[in-house]
Amino acid sequence: MVKAPLKTCGMASGVKVLRNAAEHARRLEVLIENEDIQVKKPLQVLWSSRREVWNQLHEKGQRNECETRLRLKLSAISVELALRESTSVTDSVRLLDEALILGHPSFKSLCSSFADELATLSGALRVHPEPMALLGHERIREIAGHKMETQNLVERIPSIERPSIAQFVSRIFWKGPQIISGVVRQWPAFRKWNDFSFWEAEYGHRWVPVELGSKYTDPSFETQLIPMSDFVEQHLRGESRGYLAQHQLFEQVPSLLSDIIEPEFASLGDSSSEAVVNMWLGPSGTQTPLHHDPYHNLLCQVGR
């Protein structure tokens, strides 16, 4: 992790680009009626204001007009803090990621591009552990943790190898669950994502929401924002059980989209809405309790 302030990292061009975000934040102030969100406040006051907004968001727990203003405030303050020269590179990336995850959608493209800019301009952000790709998938399974438990199925789910669109429609669409094999083998993700060092080297500095607990119905269940490098070390390589679940990581880090290819079957869904792409990343043994989704799902499993 890099703790040097922005001004010492040789990133003048990046900071210049990032200044555009501050201008955007100031323009958005007019959208927030009766809210004090002057981004030119002293640093200590900004941090205090952000902490207050953060707490209010967690207390609200509901979507309403008040929450919209709070999310705008969180985004604007986080972006301004990320631009301050006294803020470390690590903290700047964390602030931008938190704005992406919890802030207002109008900031998403800005925060994402600026976080990528920081990563590109600061080579010191990258870590280079020994590559694991040469160890093979069996060794990776051992390092990842426990063996996957096989449950007795009430009814075996049928399987089909790379069906055509016509086969998909006639055999699968509207007719229940089915395992489709061979679709993701050509994805770059199939080769890259199984190597834990890939996540550390490329995205170790990015902050992600991690669910702690075997399932969300557990009394001790909680969600924490931590660096991806900590998630890999503690939960993928380590014994602790944490789960990056149903997170729109591709919106937070758009460069990951180049590692996947949207299955052609997705075009058969509801044409009135865009496909929502979420990420699940975690060790073996994680669970999702029985539930029902009001929309169709294509769950693509890469690796183990």
DSSP characters for 150-218?
A: PPPPSSPPPEEES--HHHIIIIITTS---EEESSSTTSHHHHHTT-HHHHHHHHTTSEEEEEESSSTTS
Q: How many percent of the chain have pLDDT more than 70?
A: 67
Looking at per-residue confidence, does 93 or 151 come out higher? 93
Average pLDDT, the chain: 74
User: What token pair was written down for 233?
Assistant: 């070390």
| Average pLDDT over every residue of 71-88 | 80
pLDDT digits (tens, 9 = 90+) for 24-61: 545 444 444 434 444 456 777 888 888 888 888 877 55
* In a shared domain, residues 176 and 238: yes
pLDDT at residue 240 in the model: 83
| Counted domains in the chain | 2
Higher-confidence position of 146 and 66: 66
> Which has the closest alpha carbon to 163: 155, 150, 172, 154?
172
For residue 287, tell me if it sits in a domain. no
pLDDT at position 16, please?
47
Alpha carbon distance 49, 148 (integer Å)? 45
| Residue 255 pLDDT greater than 50, yes or no | yes
Q: Supply the pLDDT for residue 231.
A: 94
Domain of 162 in residue numbering reads as: 138-281
Query: Is the pLDDT assigned to residue 285 strictly greater than 80?
Result: no
In a domain, 223, yes or no: yes
Domain end (from 96, 125, 154): 125
Same domain, 105 and 143: no
Q: What is the mean predicted confidence (pLDDT) over 123-143?
A: 40
Q: Of 59-68, 73-82, 231-240, which gets the smallest average pLDDT? A: 59-68
Residue that wins the pLDDT comparison between 251 and 84:
251
Let me know if residue 304 belongs to a domain.
no
- Rounded Cα gap, residues 150 and 153, in angstroms: 9
- Under a CB-based contact definition with an 8 Å cutoff, are residues 298 and 263 in contact? yes
Q: Are residues 256 and 146 in the same domain?
A: yes
155 with 32, same domain: the answer is: no
Boundary-marking domain end, from 70, 101, 125: 125
Let me know if residue 24 belongs to a domain: yes
Query: According to the model, what pLDDT value does residue 215 have?
Result: 64
**What's the rounded mean pLDDT across residues 140-147?**
38
pLDDT in tens, 148-205: 344 444 567 788 898 888 888 887 776 777 889 988 989 999 999 989 999 999 999 9
**Structure confidence at residue 50 (pLDDT):** 85
Co-location of 143 and 276 in the same domain: yes
Give yes or no: residues 100 and 182 share one domain. no
